[in-house]
Amino acid sequence: MATGLYIHMPFCRQRCHYCDFNTYAGIEALIPEYLSALASELEQASHIIGAADPLTSMYLGGGTPSLLTGKDLEALMSRVRALFVLSSDTEISMEINPGALQAGELQKYAKAGVNRISVGVQAIQNTLLKSLGRIHTFEEACQSLEMCKNTGINRLSVDLMFGLPGQTMGQWQESLRWAAAQGIGHVSFYGLTLEKGTAFYDWEQSGRLRVPNDDVQAEMYEWGRGYLESQGFIQYEISNFSLPGQESRHNILYWENKTTLGVGAGAWSFCEGERSCNEPSPVKYVEKVMAGIDLKVERHHLKGRAARGEEAYLRLRLSEGIDLNAWHQAKAMDLRDDFMTEIQSLKSLGFLLETSNRLYIPADKRILANEVFERFVVEE
Ligand SMILES: C[S@@+](CC[C@H](N)C(=O)[O-])C[C@H]1O[C@@H](n2cnc3c(N)ncnc32)[C@H](O)[C@@H]1O
Ligand code: SF4
């Protein structure tokens, strides 16, 4: 059974002005205790999925996993290997922030088993990086990428952002041209979203910050999509592009609604139809693990049509969409009957296409994918 393991590192040197991920600055002193708590939670998690099949993937995300020393990561990985089965085929990804990567540690990460790295570059203009609150320059991002290449880890990805305050179309194009010329196999790009609770959100509300409007964002997205495809990248998901075979297997597990265990503060799991979320505060997370208190702060178990709707919109994120025959076999129900009104209306608007028993969002409508997804969100 395809299964992924996610481990969350909720620590950052500094909060980027746009970010609402579950991560905290100024509490790095907690890392040793946090790692002990992770080791305990991993043990409990290993009982849930059993040790029969090798993991498809493991993902160290954050926050900033590159704040871990090589020694810390080696210890964490040997704990994982003792509790789960990893094969030579298991994808082991790690997020790297160029401003928080200690020289010499990358080689140790690779030795510990990391075989895929995602570097948070965001933009190649130092003025933009500064305005985002990033802790690194473009030159440092280049150095980090170069160091990754030198470790021999050959599955590399970069994250870029568009629709940024003050970002011109020309700057966005430069960032993508740079990414495509790096000899790497994967690029993710995200349109800026203003999330409540972030500095950017407050500044925009008070009129201190102006962000490009939806039309400009859409134009940037369309340009990026076309450009990366012209450079041999395949768009396999709304925000993700890869050379053939270099897709993120871990993220695909999420979109295919497969079992994913999340370990660490605020990590989400999906197992046997239940989505659950861990205690988000790292301090309370450590306390709860040590005291043996239930870590879950949220549990949802969608059933029936609501669960099928959720799976449908997750799968529709993928460019290949939904294989309607496989769906019918798995659910003993035709998706086109189950969501007849929604699918017919989305088809008539050109938001969904069906060819050779596959239902998918056409490339030119992916920027508006939320309009499709909301039609599949239904009450139980
Ligand atoms: C968990 S974060 C990345 C890892 C690492 N902490 C870093 O920033 O280098 C994943 C990615 O989400 C994107 N992201 C985060 N917040 C965003 C927002 N508000 N709008 C758009 N993209 C965002 C960024 O591109 C970021 O690299
Ligand atoms: S480094 Fe990454 S996780 Fe941390 S605040 Fe910035 S975008 Fe968010």
50: pLDDT strictly greater than 70 = no
- Tell me the pLDDT tens digit for each residue of 71-129: 999 999 999 999 999 999 999 999 999 999 987 899 999 999 999 999 999 999 999 99
Q: What is the Å distance from ligand 1's center to 337 Cα?
A: 38
Note the pLDDT of residue 49.
75
Ligand 1 close to Cβ of residue 195 (< 6 A): yes
- Tell me the pLDDT tens digit for each residue of 297-319: 999 999 999 999 999 999 999 99
Ligand 2 close to Cβ of residue 191 (< 6 A): no
Q: Which atom of ligand 2 is nearest to the CA of 97?
A: 1
Length of the chain: 380
Ligand 2 close to Cβ of residue 16 (< 6 A): yes
Note the pLDDT of residue 208.
95
- Tell me the pLDDT tens digit for each residue of 137-175: 999 999 999 999 999 899 999 999 999 999 999 999 999
52: pLDDT strictly greater than 80 = no
Measured from the alpha carbon of residue 64, the closest ligand is 1
Ligand 2 close to Cβ of residue 19 (< 6 A): yes
pLDDT, averaged across the chain: 96
33: pLDDT strictly greater than 70 = yes
Q: What is the Å distance from ligand 1's center to 320 Cα?
A: 25
Q: What is the Å distance from ligand 2's center to 12 Cα?
A: 6
- Tell me the pLDDT tens digit for each residue of 180-207: 999 999 999 999 999 999 999 999 999 9
Per residue in 330-355, is it b (16+ CB within 10 Å) or e — as a string? eeeeebbebbeebbeebeeeebbeee
Note the pLDDT of residue 103.
76
65: pLDDT strictly greater than 70 = yes
51: pLDDT strictly greater than 80 = no
Note the pLDDT of residue 89.
94
> Dihedrals φ, ψ of 361, to 5°?
-90, 125
Which residue's C-alpha comes closest to atom 24 of ligand 1? 159
**Is the bond preceding residue 304 a cis peptide, omega within 30 degrees?**
no
Ligand 1 close to Cβ of residue 161 (< 6 A): yes
Note the pLDDT of residue 366.
96
Note the pLDDT of residue 53.
81
To test ligand 1's pocket by mutation, which of 18, 161, 193 has the most ligand atoms within 8 angstroms of CB?
161
Asked whether the whole model's pTM tops 0.95, one would answer yes
